[in-house]
Amino acid sequence: MPELIIATRNFSTDRIIGDGSFGLVYKARLSNGVTVAVKKLSNDAFQGFREFQAEMETLGKNKIRHPNLVRILGYCVSGDDRILIYEFIEKGSLDQWLHDTSLSSSLDENKINIRPLSWETRVKIIKGVAKGLVFLHTLETPIIHRDIKASNVLLDSEFEAHIADFGLARRVNAWHSHVSTQVAGTIGYMPPEYKAGVTAATVKADVYSFGTLMIEVATGKRPNLPTKIETGKEVGLVEWARRMLAEGRHFEMIDKSMPREGLREGEIGEFLRIACLCTSEGSKDRPSMEEVVTMLNFFN
């Protein structure tokens, strides 16, 4: 703990680089010269303990490693404090790149020149997230992330995706479900079965969130905000995407800030078709993440 206090300047606000569920994330340089991300969990004893336990049970204890998952390097328990130490991912979150939000840093070394992501880069990121989810879902005891969203996808210097924040993650039994008494996730990314009162966590819930993320990546629209259609009615992002695709208007859906070079209408249509399949109303109608990766191989 004394080293972390020095490295974060006593958890100074100007070291904050993000906020995960139930905690703030700080950039820190350890005494050995390694730059890391330090997550200090909420002082709320119950929430902090639950997230700490979830991260340790999924990433920590089992030494889980995959190129598309953020690596946990260590942890610290001191009194009521629960702290997790991760590898530092250089380019921040996908949310920041899609929506040009503040990289929340007054530190010169954290300043990143955000520019609109190319179509090729967006596809690469989505493929990386898909591969990370396949890995989690096909472990001997599968892991359900339960909070796939743009702010939980971090980008390295090559724009390779790394899934982060396993504070809501759960290991599941052979039937690929986890009995839960409460809904977990983020508004806009949660599957429709949650509204119907189904609280069991399943891999197909992750698939829905992933499909929503695909639509967000292609359109630049936030899933938690309504979108207006011609009648003036406001609908959710997934319903809007489904309507637009059915009318063959997929090219109109693309993020207007994105460079148009190399855009092919057929590719865009296929990308959004896969996204709509992943966000099918019925969980049984959604593909597995393995099937999604196979479909995404359409994009070279």
Contact 126, 115 (CB under 8 A): no
SS3 of residue 11 by DSSP: coil
Residue 233 marked ligand-binding: no
Distance CA 41, CA 49 (A): 8
**Residue the block writes with tokens 């809904």:** 183
SS3 of residue 155 by DSSP: strand
Specify the amino acid at residue 71: R
Beta bridge partners of 163: 69, 153
Q: For residue 296, give the H/E element and its range.
A: helix 289-296
Radius of gyration of the chain (CA): 19
Is 147 known to be catalytic?
yes
List, as one string, the DSSP characters of 177-243. EE--SS--S-TTTS-HHHHTT---EEHHHHHHHHHHHHHHHHH---TTS-EE-TTS-EE-HHHHHHH
CB burial of 269-280 (b: ≥16 within 10 Å; e: otherwise) equals: ebbbebbbbbbb
Active-site annotation holder among 147, 156, 206, 255: 147
Q: What residues act catalytically?
A: 147
Annotated binding site for ATP: 40
Annotated binding site: 40
